[in-house]
Amino acid sequence: MSKRDLVVNDFCITFSTVNGSGSATANTTLMRALFKMGIPVSSKNIFPSNIQGLPTWYTLRLSKDGYMGRVEQDDIIVAMNPATLHKEVQYLAPGGVLLLPDDLNFVNTRDDLIIYRMPVKKLIKDAEVPPSLRDYISNMVYVGVLCFLLGIDLDLIHQALDFQFKGRQKPIDQNFHMVEAAYVWSKQNLEKKDPYLVEKMDGTDDCIMTDGNTAGALGSIFGGVQFTGWYPITPATSLAESLIEYLPKYRVDPETGKDTYAIVQSEDELAAIGMAIGAGWGGLRSMTSTSGPGLSLMSEYIGLAYYAEVPVVIWDVQRVGPSTGMPTRTAQGDLTQANFISHGDKNMIILIPGSIQECFEFGWRAFDIAERLQTPVIVLSDLDFGMNMWTSKKFEYPDQPMDRGKILWEDDMEEFMAKHGGEWGRYRDVDGDGIPWRTLPGNRHPKSGYFARGTSHNEDTGYTEDPEKWETIFKRIANKFETGKQYLPKAIADESQKATLGIIASGSADPAVQEARDLLAKQGIKTDYLRIRSLPFDTEVEDFLKKHEQLVVLDINRDGQLNQLLTMTYPVYSEKTTSLAHLDGLPLNAKWVEKQILSLLEVK
Amino acid sequence: MSKRDLVVNDFCITFSTVNGSGSATANTTLMRALFKMGIPVSSKNIFPSNIQGLPTWYTLRLSKDGYMGRVEQDDIIVAMNPATLHKEVQYLAPGGVLLLPDDLNFVNTRDDLIIYRMPVKKLIKDAEVPPSLRDYISNMVYVGVLCFLLGIDLDLIHQALDFQFKGRQKPIDQNFHMVEAAYVWSKQNLEKKDPYLVEKMDGTDDCIMTDGNTAGALGSIFGGVQFTGWYPITPATSLAESLIEYLPKYRVDPETGKDTYAIVQSEDELAAIGMAIGAGWGGLRSMTSTSGPGLSLMSEYIGLAYYAEVPVVIWDVQRVGPSTGMPTRTAQGDLTQANFISHGDKNMIILIPGSIQECFEFGWRAFDIAERLQTPVIVLSDLDFGMNMWTSKKFEYPDQPMDRGKILWEDDMEEFMAKHGGEWGRYRDVDGDGIPWRTLPGNRHPKSGYFARGTSHNEDTGYTEDPEKWETIFKRIANKFETGKQYLPKAIADESQKATLGIIASGSADPAVQEARDLLAKQGIKTDYLRIRSLPFDTEVEDFLKKHEQLVVLDINRDGQLNQLLTMTYPVYSEKTTSLAHLDGLPLNAKWVEKQILSLLEVK
Amino acid sequence: MATPVPNPAIQNVNKVGLSKADYKGLPSTLCQGCGHNGIAAQIVAACYEMNLVPEKVVKFSGIGCSSKSPTYFLGRSFSFNGLHGRMPSLALGGMFADHTLKAIGVSGDGDTASIGLGQFKHMVRRNLPMVYIVENNGVYGLTKGQFSATAERGLQLKKQGTNPYLPVDIAMEALISNATFIARSFAGDPRQVKELLKAAIAHNGIAVLDIISPCVTFHNHENSFHSYSFGKEHEEPLHEISYVPPKEDITVEDFEEGTTREVVMHDGSQVVLKKLEKEYDPRDRWQALHMLEEAHSHDWLVTGLIYVDPEVPSLFDIYNIPATPLNRTPNSKLRPSHEALDEINRLMF
Amino acid sequence: MATPVPNPAIQNVNKVGLSKADYKGLPSTLCQGCGHNGIAAQIVAACYEMNLVPEKVVKFSGIGCSSKSPTYFLGRSFSFNGLHGRMPSLALGGMFADHTLKAIGVSGDGDTASIGLGQFKHMVRRNLPMVYIVENNGVYGLTKGQFSATAERGLQLKKQGTNPYLPVDIAMEALISNATFIARSFAGDPRQVKELLKAAIAHNGIAVLDIISPCVTFHNHENSFHSYSFGKEHEEPLHEISYVPPKEDITVEDFEEGTTREVVMHDGSQVVLKKLEKEYDPRDRWQALHMLEEAHSHDWLVTGLIYVDPEVPSLFDIYNIPATPLNRTPNSKLRPSHEALDEINRLMF
Ligand SMILES: Cc1ncc(C[n+]2csc(CCOP(=O)(O)OP(=O)(O)O)c2C)c(N)n1
Ligand SMILES: Cc1ncc(C[n+]2csc(CCOP(=O)(O)OP(=O)(O)O)c2C)c(N)n1
Ligand code: SF4
Ligand code: SF4
Ligand SMILES: [Mg+2]
Ligand SMILES: [Mg+2]
At B256-296, the pLDDT tens digits run 999 999 999 999 999 999 999 999 999 999 999 999 999 99
Q: What is the pLDDT of residues C131-159, one digit of tens each?
A: 999 999 999 999 988 999 998 888 877 77
Inter-helix orientation angle C87-97/B269-281, to 10°: 40
pLDDT at C231 over 60: no
Q: Is C122 within 8 Å of chain D by CB?
A: yes
Residue D299: which region, alpha, beta or left (left: phi > 0; alpha: psi -120 to 50)? Answer: left
- The distance of C300 to chain B (nearest Cα, Å) reads 33
Work out the percent of chain C whose per-residue pLDDT is above 90. Answer: 60
pLDDT band for position B112 (50/70/90)?
very high
Residues from chain D that touch C178, judged by Cβ atoms under 8 A, are 166
pLDDT at D277 over 50: no
Q: What is the pLDDT of residues B190-201, one digit of tens each?
A: 999 999 999 999
Q: What is the pLDDT of residues B382-408, one digit of tens each?
A: 999 999 999 999 999 999 999 999 999
In 3D space, the residue among A532, A583, A552 whose CA is nearest the CA of residue A334 turns out to be A583
Q: Is B50 within 8 Å of chain D by CB?
A: yes
Q: Is D154 within 8 Å of chain C by CB?
A: no
pLDDT band for position C227 (50/70/90)?
low
Please tell me which of the candidates A227, A268, A277 has its beta carbon nearest to residue D90: A277
- The domain D27-324 is classified under which CATH number: 3.40.50.970, 3.90.650.10, 3.40.50.720, 3.90.1150.10? 3.40.50.970
Classify A94 as helix, strand or coil: strand
For residues B352 and B364, give the distance between their C-alpha atoms in angstroms, rounded to a whole number.
13
Region A500-527: what's the mean pLDDT?
Answer: 98
Q: What is the pLDDT of residue C294?
A: 81
Contact A291, A378 (CB under 8 A): no
Mutate to test the interface with D, among A285, A314, A397, A403 (most CBs of D within 10 A): A397
Q: What is the pLDDT of residue D81?
A: 98
At residue B65, φ and ψ (nearest 5 deg) are: -90, 0
What is the C-alpha R_g of chain D?
21
Residues from chain B that touch D26, judged by Cβ atoms under 8 A, are none
Query: Mean pLDDT, chain C, as a whole number?
Result: 83
- Please indicate whether residue A204 or residue C261 has the higher confidence score (pLDDT): A204
Q: Is the CB of D87 under 6 A from ligand 2?
A: no
Residues from chain D that touch C149, judged by Cβ atoms under 8 A, are 122, 125
In 3D space, the residue among A167, A100, A47, A82 whose CA is nearest the CA of residue A585 turns out to be A47
**Residue in B with minimal Cα distance to C99:** B442
**B237/D141 Cβ within 8 A:** no
The secondary structure of chain B in percent helix, strand, coil, rounded to multiples of 5, reads 40, 20, 35
**A276/D326 Cβ within 8 A:** no
Q: What is the pLDDT of residues B228-238, one digit of tens each?
A: 999 999 999 99
Taking the CA of residue B297 as reference, the ligand 2 atom at the shortest distance is 1
Q: What is the pLDDT of residue D293?
A: 87
Taking the CA of residue D145 as reference, the ligand 4 atom at the shortest distance is 1
Domain borders along chain D are 27-324
Q: Is B260 within 8 Å of chain C by CB?
A: yes
Q: How far is the CA of B238 from the centre of ligand 2 (A)?
A: 15
Q: What is the pLDDT of residue B143?
A: 97
Region A323-334: what's the mean pLDDT?
Answer: 97
Q: Is A233 within 8 Å of chain C by CB?
A: yes
Residues from chain D that touch A410, judged by Cβ atoms under 8 A, are 1
Instruction: Report yes or no for ipTM above 0.90.
Output: yes
DSSP string, B572-585: GGGGGEEEEE--SS
pLDDT band for position C220 (50/70/90)?
low
Q: How far is the CA of D178 from the centre of ligand 5 (A)?
A: 21
**The pairing of beta strand B528-532 with beta strand B492-494:** antiparallel
Classify B273 as helix, strand or coil: helix
- Please indicate whether residue D275 or residue B527 has the higher confidence score (pLDDT): B527
pLDDT at B65 over 50: yes
Strand partners, C239: C275
Contact B333, B557 (CB under 8 A): yes
**C340/B282 Cβ within 8 A:** no
For residues C139 and C213, give the distance between their C-alpha atoms in angstroms, rounded to a whole number.
10
**C115/A51 Cβ within 8 A:** no
pLDDT band for position D10 (50/70/90)?
low
Q: Which of A248-257, C10-19, D263-272 has the highest mean pLDDT?
A: A248-257
- The distance of D335 to chain A (nearest Cα, Å) reads 5
Residues bordering ligand 6, an ion, CB closer than 5 Å: D 108-110, 137
Hey, what domains does chain A have and what are their CATH numbers? 3-205 (3.40.920.10), 210-393 (3.40.50.970), 407-487 (no CATH), 492-603 (3.40.50.920)
- Please indicate whether residue D91 or residue D232 has the higher confidence score (pLDDT): D91
Q: What is the pLDDT of residue D159?
A: 77
pLDDT band for position A27 (50/70/90)?
very high
pLDDT band for position B49 (50/70/90)?
confident
Mutate to test the interface with B, among A270, A304, A310, A323 (most CBs of B within 10 A): A323
**B293/D84 Cβ within 8 A:** yes
**The pairing of beta strand A492-494 with beta strand A528-532:** antiparallel
Q: What is the pLDDT of residue C219?
A: 67
For residues B409 and B427, give the distance between their C-alpha atoms in angstroms, rounded to a whole number.
16
**The pairing of beta strand D146-147 with beta strand D139-140:** antiparallel
Q: What is the pLDDT of residue A412?
A: 97
For residues B44 and B89, give the distance between their C-alpha atoms in angstroms, rounded to a whole number.
18
Q: Is the CB of D214 under 6 A from ligand 2?
A: no
Q: Is A45 within 8 Å of chain B by CB?
A: no
Q: What is the pLDDT of residue B18?
A: 86
Q: What is the pLDDT of residue D2?
A: 46
For residues A332 and A378, give the distance between their C-alpha atoms in angstroms, rounded to a whole number.
13
Give the H or E element holding residue B564. helix B561-569
Classify C122 as helix, strand or coil: helix
Determine whether B411 is exposed, middle or buried from the number of CB atoms within 10 Å of its CB (0-12, 13-18, 19+). Answer: exposed
For residues A214 and A356, give the distance between their C-alpha atoms in angstroms, rounded to a whole number.
9
Work out the percent of chain B whose per-residue pLDDT is above 90. Answer: 90
**Residue in B with minimal Cα distance to C62:** B453
Which listed ligand is nearest to A299 at the C-alpha? Answer: 2
pLDDT at D254 over 70: no
pLDDT at A468 over 60: yes
Contact A332, A561 (CB under 8 A): yes
Q: Is D173 within 8 Å of chain C by CB?
A: yes
Classify B139 as helix, strand or coil: helix
Q: What is the pLDDT of residues B485-544, one digit of tens each?
A: 999 999 999 999 999 999 999 999 999 999 999 999 999 999 999 999 999 999 999 999
Q: What is the pLDDT of residue D226?
A: 54
pLDDT at B188 over 80: yes
Q: Is A20 within 8 Å of chain C by CB?
A: yes
pLDDT band for position C244 (50/70/90)?
very low
Q: What is the pLDDT of residues A184-196, one digit of tens each?
A: 999 999 999 999 9
CA distances C152 to A403, B225, C67, C120, Å, are 41, 46, 22, 20
For residues A450 and A439, give the distance between their C-alpha atoms in angstroms, rounded to a whole number.
8
Q: What is the pLDDT of residues B571-580, one digit of tens each?
A: 999 999 999 9
Residues from chain A that touch B303, judged by Cβ atoms under 8 A, are 293, 296, 321-323
Buried b / exposed e over B46-61, threshold 16 CB at 10 Å, is bbbbbbbbbbbbbbbb
In 3D space, the residue among B350, B322, B365 whose CA is nearest the CA of residue B565 turns out to be B350
- Which chains, if any, share at least 3 CB pairs under 8 A with chain A? B, C, D
Strand partners, C106: C61, C133
What is the C-alpha R_g of chain B?
27
- The distance of A307 to chain B (nearest Cα, Å) reads 6
Determine whether A305 is exposed, middle or buried from the number of CB atoms within 10 Å of its CB (0-12, 13-18, 19+). Answer: buried
pLDDT at B457 over 90: yes
Region A254-280: what's the mean pLDDT?
Answer: 98
What residue spans of B310-436 are helical by DSSP H? 335-340, 356-373, 383-387, 410-419
pLDDT at A94 over 50: yes
- The distance of B229 to chain C (nearest Cα, Å) reads 8
| Number of helical H runs and strand E runs in chain B | 20, 25
Contact A451, A461 (CB under 8 A): yes
Q: What is the pLDDT of residue A424?
A: 97
Q: Is B391 within 8 Å of chain C by CB?
A: no
Q: What is the pLDDT of residue C238?
A: 53
Region D177-182: what's the mean pLDDT?
Answer: 97
pLDDT band for position D281 (50/70/90)?
confident
For residues A100 and A120, give the distance between their C-alpha atoms in angstroms, rounded to a whole number.
9
Region D139-151: what's the mean pLDDT?
Answer: 92
pLDDT band for position C65 (50/70/90)?
very high
CB neighbourhood size of A396 (10 A): 12
Q: What is the pLDDT of residues B466-478, one digit of tens each?
A: 999 999 999 999 9
Q: Is B118 within 8 Å of chain A by CB?
A: no
DSSP string, B440-476: -TT---TT---EEESB-B-TTS-B---HHHHHHHHHH
pLDDT band for position C254 (50/70/90)?
very low
Region A124-144: what's the mean pLDDT?
Answer: 88
**B321/A342 Cβ within 8 A:** yes
| C-alpha angle B434-B536-B301 in degrees, rounded to nearest 5 | 75
**A395/D345 Cβ within 8 A:** yes
Residues from chain D that touch C165, judged by Cβ atoms under 8 A, are 125-126
Query: Mean pLDDT, chain A, as a whole number?
Result: 96
**Residue in D with minimal Cα distance to A248:** D320
Q: What is the pLDDT of residues A41-75, one digit of tens each?
A: 999 999 988 888 888 999 999 999 999 999 999 99
For residues B104 and D126, give the distance between their C-alpha atoms in angstroms, rounded to a whole number.
56
pLDDT band for position A490 (50/70/90)?
very high
> By mean pLDDT, which of A569-578, B242-251, D30-39 is the weakest?
D30-39
Buried b / exposed e over A89-100, threshold 16 CB at 10 Å, is bebbbeebbbbb
Q: What is the pLDDT of residue C246?
A: 38
pTM: 0.95
pLDDT at D239 over 80: no
- Please indicate whether residue C253 or residue D78 has the higher confidence score (pLDDT): D78
**D125/C149 Cβ within 8 A:** yes
**The pairing of beta strand A262-265 with beta strand A227-230:** parallel
Residue ranges with strand state E in chain C: 57-61, 78-81, 102-108, 130-136, 139-140, 146-147, 156-157, 161-162, 181-186, 206-212, 235-237, 239-244, 260-264, 270-275, 301-308
At residue B457, φ and ψ (nearest 5 deg) are: -140, 160
pLDDT at A78 over 60: yes
**D178/C176 Cβ within 8 A:** no
